[in-house]
Amino acid sequence: MPTALITGASSGLGAEFARQLARKGADLVLVARDRDALDRLADEVRARSGVAVEVLPADLTLPAELASVVERVADPEHPVDLLVNNAGFGLPLDFARNDIEDEVRHLALHVEVPMRLTHAAVHAMLERKGGRIINVASVAGFIPRSTYGACKGWLISFSRWANGQYASKGVTVTAVCPGFTHTNFHERMGVAPGKEGVPAWMWLDAKAVVSEGLRDASRGKGVSVPSLRYRTLVGLTRLVPAGLSSKVGERGR
């Protein structure tokens, strides 16, 4: 069976990636800080899909714990065939008022962590002449949206380049770029459901986002933007003035 390692797997899109990949027959390595939440998800997935599930608790902002996950990704005795870099968190858009140490952790988790894990995965996958990497980015990467948009913009650009560089050698890299999606992401920022300042039509379903992202990754796409409405919005951002794009980026929290 192929093995998929998923970061940020305890909830939201990470948990949905785990469920859908398990239904496709993949064994799983689940990574997140919350051991109890990982154990609950592992029990659920084993019961429903009968796959093997390894739980690997880690705070990826701590160097020693990140190193343990890098080591697992690179392990030649237990190869990882699909890496899903999904771990992340949000901050208020007011950079000037945010605590700078929070911003530094935010940068590390969204840029340094996927870079290190991708580096380990690509090295191992090239030796095996096959593998797949999914980097969960955001449509925020296409518009000015404080440091979150900047981090996701880096991840999109990096994934597009890496896919072009390594796809011919059997290793594909896909940036999956959802828009606003119904998960607990905003609640963890302290924003109550329904108070995000985003109209209902802009919300996506997590199952559909993951399904479309996996489909595009299987086709070897460098960038995947789930849903026609967001592909249209991303296309429009290339045509509108920078000032208007900035206004769009201020929507929601």
The C-alpha atoms of residue 208 and residue 220 are separated, in whole angstroms, by 18
Hey, which residues does 131 pair with through a beta bridge? 171
Quick check: 186 and 253 in contact, CB under 8 A?
Answer: yes
Closest C-alpha to 126, from 156, 68, 165, 157: 165
CA dist., res. 4 & res. 170, Å (int): 16
Q: Which of 148, 158, 180, 185 is catalytic?
A: 148
For residue 50, count other CB atoms closer than 10 A to its CB.
9
Q: How many CA atoms lie within 13 A of 206 on its CB side?
A: 14
Q: Please say if 148 is a catalytic residue.
A: yes
Residues involved in catalysis: 148
